[in-house]
Each structure stands twice: as structure tokens, then as C-alpha cells.
Chains A and B, each alone.
Chain A
Amino acid sequence: GALVYQYPRRTICKSGTSMRMECQAVGFQATSVAWYRQSPQKTFELIALSTVNSAIKYEQNFTQEKFPISHPNLSFSSMTVLNAYLEDRGLYLCGARDHGANSDYTFGSGTRLLVI
């Protein structure tokens, strides 16, 4: 079956430092990868949508300068939170989809980021 693994599961970083998180698709081709942040008390906010070998589209309030994303092949994507501060804490989720017809998104368990 289609699975998405995210690592690390949990991480702590000091304020002002950066943290890289990874997303691995197994059993299908991750043509598209969507990265989300779930802040405390909030729903899942889309950060950016990436299509392999194509431009990465960032949502309003999120920038490549702050959340650079790499999507080099059909099984892997990574995102870095640069210069993390308290407001960046939360659960970061990635979902991947194969561009086959009627294909749904499969989500990982997320990377929980704590900033101290």
C-alpha cells in the first residue's frame, strides 16, 4: 500500500537555528507533495505545494526564504524551517499524491517541532 514516512517524529531546536525535516513516499510515486503546518489550536495550514521537476508554489504568508523545500525525485521531499522562532512551533505534515487518475493524498505522521 501507499505509505508516507516523516522524520524526525519530534525535534527541538534553539530559537534562531534551523531544522530540516524529511518526507519519504513508499509504494507509490510522489508526483506532488504538500507541506502543512498545524499550529496549536489551528487547523492544517498549507505551506506549499510541490510538483516534481516543476516550480514549488508557496501559499500566502509562507516563503521559500523561510521554508525552502526540495523535491528531487518521486519518493522524497524535504523542508527546512530557517531561523526558527516560537511562532514556528507545531506539527509539520507532508502529504503526497501520485498524478494518476482519481488519486488521493497519503499523509505522514508529521514532525513535531518545539522551539526553545
Chain B
Amino acid sequence: GDQVEQSPSALSLHEGTGSALRCNFTTTMRAVQWFRKNSRGSLINLFYLASGTKENGRLKSAFDSKERYSTLHIRDAQLEDSGTYFCAALVTSGGNYKPTFGKGTSLVVHP
């Protein structure tokens, strides 16, 4: 089965509101990364966490390896936040880190 379960698959927000994306893991992950796919198709790195929380502007992410989940909180959503967000969990593989992606969350921010 899937090692990374990302939810929700789609999210609609009005400008100025907020919500949270979540990734649950079926096994212990070494670290997690969150990305946003921009209009050109590039994966923009938002966060890398090996533990704890990080905040950058209106985004905040948390990672709990023991409880096997990570979250990405968006507050005061803006139109330019629209896009597809992915989490990628890094599992240890033969001394290396192997990223396993969630299926993505398609976010649409409405005026």
C-alpha cells in the first residue's frame, strides 16, 4: 500500500482564510519535504523538516516522526497560493534518503 497518504486531494479557499494539509505515513520517516508545483510545472521547495516545526511567512509546517504525520498550514490565503501541493517523505534506504511522494493537494483560492 501507499506509504504516504496525503489529504485532502482538493481544497477550495476564499482569500484571507486558511486551512491545513496533512500527510500520514505508514512507517517511520527520516524527514519530510513540502513542495508547491507552480504554473510552469516546477516543484518549489517550501519546507524541509527532520523534526519539529518551521514557519515561513503565511506557511507553517510540522513533522512528527513518532506519530507519523506532517502538516502544512496556510493562513491568510492569497490568489497566488493556488496550485498543487505535495509532501515527500524521506525514508532511509541503504544509507541514503529515498523520497516518496503523496498524491498531492490541488488548492484553489477564490476572490
Contact across chains for A102 and B100 when beta carbons are under 8 A apart: no
Contacts of A97 on B, CB cut-off 8 Å? 97
A57 with B94, Cβ < 8 A, contacts A46-B100, A104-B48, A105-B33 known: yes
Say whether B98 contacts A49, CB under 8 Å.
yes
Task: Say which residue of A32, A44, A104, A112 sits within 8 Å of B45 (CB atoms).
Answer: A104
B101 within 8 A of A: yes
- Beta-carbon contact of A104 and B94 below 8 Å: no
Residues on the B chain within 8 Å of A93, using CB: 43
Interface contact B97-A32, CB-CB below 8 Å: yes
- Which interface class (under 10, 10 to 19, 20 to 34, 35 or more) fits A? 20 to 34
Q: Which residues of B contact A109 (CB under 8 A)?
A: 40-43
Q: Are A106 and B45 in contact, with the CB atoms below 8 A? A: yes
Chain B proximity mask over A76-108: 1 for CB below 8 Å, otherwise 0: 000000000000000101010101001011111
CA distance A97 to B48 in the complex (A): 12
Q: How many B residues, CB 8 Å from partner?
A: 24
Answer yes or no: A75 CB below 8 A from chain B CBs.
no
Q: A interface, by DSSP: helix, strand, loop or mixed? A: strand
A51 near B96 with CB under 8 A, answer yes
- Judged by a CB distance under 8 angstroms, whether A60 is at the interface is no
Q: Which chain B residues numbered 57 to 80 have a C-beta less than 8 Å away from chain A? A: none
- Please indicate the chain A residues that have their CB under 8 angstroms from the CB of B88 in the complex: 44, 105
B36 to chain A, nearest CB (A): 11
B98 touches A46 (CB 8 A): yes
List 14 additional A-B contacts (Cβ < 8 Å) besides A104-B45, A107-B43. A43-B101, A44-B101, A46-B98, A46-B99, A49-B96, A57-B94, A97-B97, A99-B96, A102-B31, A102-B50, A104-B31, A105-B45, A105-B90, A110-B41
Binding site for B on A (CB under 8 A): 32, 34, 36, 43-44, 46, 49, 51, 57, 91, 93, 95, 97, 99, 102, 104-110, 112
